[in-house]
Amino acid sequence: MTEIQWPAGFVPGFTDNYCSNEVIVSGLTTADIWPLLVTPALWPSYYKNSANPKFYDDKGPQLAMADRFYFETFGFPVEAKVVELIAPVNGQPARVAWHGWVGEENSAERLDVHHAWIVEDLSHNRVRILTQETQNGEPARQLASTVPNPMINGHQEWLDGLVAAARRQQA
């Protein structure tokens, strides 16, 4: 199966925090999932840990390569920039990833993340949705030591909500 492509400085195992969540479900396709995933304005409708998404520079409503956007999650006001975006093409996995940050560079409050997604159709009418995130900075070190892990739990809620929203649209 397809893997995340990690930029320098964000490879799992060499960062302050890492989380990975994945679902494989039947009866949905990449085409069902993709519009919900790349439209930040929809995130709060199916993921309660996302709020106030907005685009900069008159971009949107769907994410595009190099777009700057903002949203709030896990209590953090996240500035972000799309660093990878490969829309669904029949037979190839779709990818989207962004670099997100909170706080001033070189400050103790600075948090830098790479959040990546893969959505791919599998055999027998199944879809795989993988989301992984690496984080650097003191807030990441604090999140990594929190039990239960808020990132694992939050991203699982995001995946579950994404699947439920896609199923509602089918009905």
Residues 116, 97: contact at Cβ < 8 Å?
yes
For residue range 34-77, what is the model confidence (pLDDT) as tens digits?
999 999 999 999 999 999 999 999 999 999 999 999 999 988 99
pLDDT computed for residue 1 by the predictor: 66
pLDDT over 70 at 137, yes or no: yes
Number of C-alpha atoms within 13 angstroms, CB side, residue 20?
Answer: 6
Q: Evaluate if pTM is beyond 0.85.
A: yes
**Domains of the chain with CATH codes:** 17-170 (3.30.530.20)
pLDDT computed for residue 90 by the predictor: 86
pLDDT over 90 at 115, yes or no: yes
pLDDT computed for residue 74 by the predictor: 86
pLDDT over 70 at 120, yes or no: yes
User: CA-to-CA distance for 104 and 124, rounded, in angstroms?
Assistant: 47
User: CA-to-CA distance for 11 and 54, rounded, in angstroms?
Assistant: 28
Reported as a pLDDT band with limits 50, 70 and 90, residue 26 is very high
H/E element, 141: helix 138-144
